[in-house]
A and B are shown apart, each in its own frame.
Chain A
Amino acid sequence: MNQSLLFNSPEEVKIGLGRQQYIASDEIATIIYLSQQLGKPLLTEGPAGVGKTELAKAVAGATGRELIRLQCYEGLDETKALYEWEYAKQLLYTQLLRDKLQETLNGSKNLAEAADRLAAEEDVFFSMRFLLQRPLLKAILNELPTVLLIDEIDRADAEFEAFLLEVLSDFQVSVPELGTLMAIHRPLVVLTSNNTRELSEALKRRCLYLFIEYPSIEQEMAVVRLKVPELAPKLAKQAVDMVQNLRKMDLRKSPSISETLDWAKALVTLNVKQIDDTTLETTLSILLKHESDLQKAKRSLMQSNRRQSGEIDDPRLRGWRN
Chain B
Amino acid sequence: MEERIIKFIAALRTAGVRISLAESADAFNAVDHLGIHDRENFRISLCSTLVKDSSHLPIFEELFPLFFDFPQSMPQMDLSDEMSPEEAHMMADALHRFKEQLREMLDRLIRGDPLSQEELDRLGQLIGLTEVNDMRYREWLVQRMEKALRFREVQQAVQELMELLAEMGMNQERIEQLRKMLRNNQQALADQLRNYAGMRIAANMSKTPPGNNLEYIFNRPLQTLSENDLEMLRKEVRRLAAALRTRIALRQKRAKNGKLDAKATIRANIKHGSVPFDLKHKNNTLKPKIVVICDVSTSMRPCSELMLSLLYAIQDQISRTFSFAFIDHLEYISPDFHVKEARDAVNYILQKMPPGHYNTDLGTSLQNFTENYLYTVDNRSTFIVVGDGRNNYNDPRRDLFFTISRRANRTIWLNPEPPSLWGTGDSDMLNYAGYCDSIFQVGTLAQLTAAVDVLLTS
Residues of A within 8 A of B (CB): 10, 26-27, 30-31, 33-34, 37-38, 40, 43, 45-46, 74, 87-88, 91, 157-159, 195, 197-198, 200-201, 204-211, 252
What are 29 A-B residue pairs whose CB atoms fall within 8 Å in the complex?
A26-B40, A27-B44, A30-B40, A30-B41, A31-B44, A31-B48, A34-B30, A34-B34, A34-B44, A38-B26, A38-B30, A38-B33, A45-B54, A88-B272, A91-B273, A157-B249, A158-B249, A198-B238, A201-B20, A204-B52, A205-B20, A205-B52, A206-B22, A208-B30, A208-B48, A209-B52, A209-B53, A210-B48, A252-B339
Interchain CB contact under 8 A, B44 and A91: no
- Is B430 close to A, CB under 8 A? no
- Is B263 close to A, CB under 8 A? no
Interchain CB contact under 8 A, A158 and B245: yes
- Is B101 close to A, CB under 8 A? no
List of A residues within 8 angstroms of B275 by Cβ: 91
List of B residues within 8 angstroms of A27 by Cβ: 44
Given A30-B44, A38-B33, A158 contacting B277 (CB threshold 8 A): no
Interface residues of B in 34-77 (CB under 8 A from A): 34, 40-41, 44-45, 47-49, 51-54, 57
Give the bracket for the number of chain B residues in contact with chain A. 35 or more
Interchain CB contact under 8 A, B272 and A209: no
Separation of A27 and B39 alpha carbons in the complex (Å): 12
Interchain CB contact under 8 A, B272 and A34: no
Given A158-B242, A195-B54, A201-B18, A30 contacting B26 (CB threshold 8 A): no
- Is B143 close to A, CB under 8 A? no
CB distance from B340 to the nearest CB of A (A): 11
Separation of A45 and B49 alpha carbons in the complex (Å): 14
Q: Name 17 extra pairs, CB < 8 A, besides A31-B48, A40-B26.
A: A10-B41, A27-B44, A33-B33, A34-B44, A34-B45, A38-B30, A74-B316, A87-B272, A88-B272, A158-B246, A158-B316, A159-B246, A198-B242, A201-B18, A204-B53, A205-B20, A208-B26
List of A residues within 8 angstroms of B249 by Cβ: 157-159
Separation of A198 and B49 alpha carbons in the complex (Å): 18
Q: Which residue of A lies closest to B54 (CB)?
A: A211
Closest 7 CB pairs of A and B: A204-B52, A209-B52, A30-B44, A208-B48, A37-B33, A211-B54, A31-B48
List of B residues within 8 angstroms of A38 by Cβ: 26, 29-30, 33
Interchain CB contact under 8 A, B339 and A30: no
Interchain CB contact under 8 A, A87 and B23: no
Interchain CB contact under 8 A, B49 and A208: yes
Interchain CB contact under 8 A, B26 and A91: no
List of A residues within 8 angstroms of B53 by Cβ: 204, 209
Interchain CB contact under 8 A, A87 and B277: yes
Given A205-B22, A210-B48, A34 contacting B246 (CB threshold 8 A): no
CB distance from B363 to the nearest CB of A (A): 34
List of A residues within 8 angstroms of B33 by Cβ: 33-34, 37-38
Separation of A40 and B29 alpha carbons in the complex (Å): 11
CB distance from B271 to the nearest CB of A (A): 6
Separation of A252 and B338 alpha carbons in the complex (Å): 10
Separation of A30 and B29 alpha carbons in the complex (Å): 14
Q: Which residue of B lies closest to A202 (CB)?
A: B20
List of A residues within 8 angstroms of B246 by Cβ: 158-159
CB distance from A7 to the nearest CB of B (A): 12
CB distance from B146 to the nearest CB of A (A): 34
List of A residues within 8 angstroms of B273 by Cβ: 91
CB distance from A90 to the nearest CB of B (A): 9
The residue that A211 contacts in the complex, of B22, B29, B57, B242, with Cβ under 8 A, is: B57
Interchain CB contact under 8 A, A209 and B316: no
CB distance from A259 to the nearest CB of B (A): 19
Q: Which residue of A lies closest to B21 (CB)?
A: A205
List of B residues within 8 angstroms of A34 by Cβ: 30, 33-34, 44-45, 48-49
Separation of A87 and B278 alpha carbons in the complex (Å): 10
A26, A201, A209 — which one has the most chain B CB atoms within 10 A of its CB? A209
CB distance from B403 to the nearest CB of A (A): 34
List of A residues within 8 angstroms of B47 by Cβ: 209
List of B residues within 8 angstroms of A207 by Cβ: 52
Given A37-B33, A198-B238, A88 contacting B271 (CB threshold 8 A): yes
Interchain CB contact under 8 A, A30 and B34: yes
Interchain CB contact under 8 A, A205 and B242: no
Q: Which residue of B lies closest to A95 (CB)?
A: B273
Interface residues of B in 317-351 (CB under 8 A from A): 339
Separation of A122 and B342 alpha carbons in the complex (Å): 56
Q: Which residue of B lies closest to A31 (CB)?
A: B48
List of B residues within 8 angstroms of A10 by Cβ: 34, 41
Q: Which residue of A lies closest to B57 (CB)?
A: A211
List of B residues within 8 angstroms of A197 by Cβ: 316
CB distance from B157 to the nearest CB of A (A): 40
Separation of A210 and B277 alpha carbons in the complex (Å): 44
Separation of A207 and B52 alpha carbons in the complex (Å): 8
List of A residues within 8 angstroms of B339 by Cβ: 252
CB distance from B325 to the nearest CB of A (A): 21
List of B residues within 8 angstroms of A210 by Cβ: 48
Given A38-B33, A204-B53, A157 contacting B316 (CB threshold 8 A): yes
Interface residues of B in 293-324 (CB under 8 A from A): 313, 316
Interchain CB contact under 8 A, A91 and B272: yes
CB distance from B209 to the nearest CB of A (A): 21
Separation of A209 and B56 alpha carbons in the complex (Å): 12
List of A residues within 8 angstroms of B20 by Cβ: 201, 205
List of B residues within 8 angstroms of A198 by Cβ: 238, 242, 313
Separation of A38 and B339 alpha carbons in the complex (Å): 36
Interchain CB contact under 8 A, B242 and A200: yes
Q: Which residue of A lies closest to B339 (CB)?
A: A252
B29, B34, B48, B57 — which one has the most chain A CB atoms within 10 A of its CB? B48
List of B residues within 8 angstroms of A206 by Cβ: 22
Interface residues of B in 229-253 (CB under 8 A from A): 238, 242, 245-246, 249
List of B residues within 8 angstroms of A200 by Cβ: 242
CB distance from B9 to the nearest CB of A (A): 14
B22, B52, B246 — which one has the most chain A CB atoms within 10 A of its CB? B52
CB distance from A26 to the nearest CB of B (A): 6
Q: Which residue of A lies closest to B30 (CB)?
A: A34
List of A residues within 8 angstroms of B49 by Cβ: 34, 208-209
Q: Which residue of B lies closest to A45 (CB)?
A: B54
CB distance from B14 to the nearest CB of A (A): 18
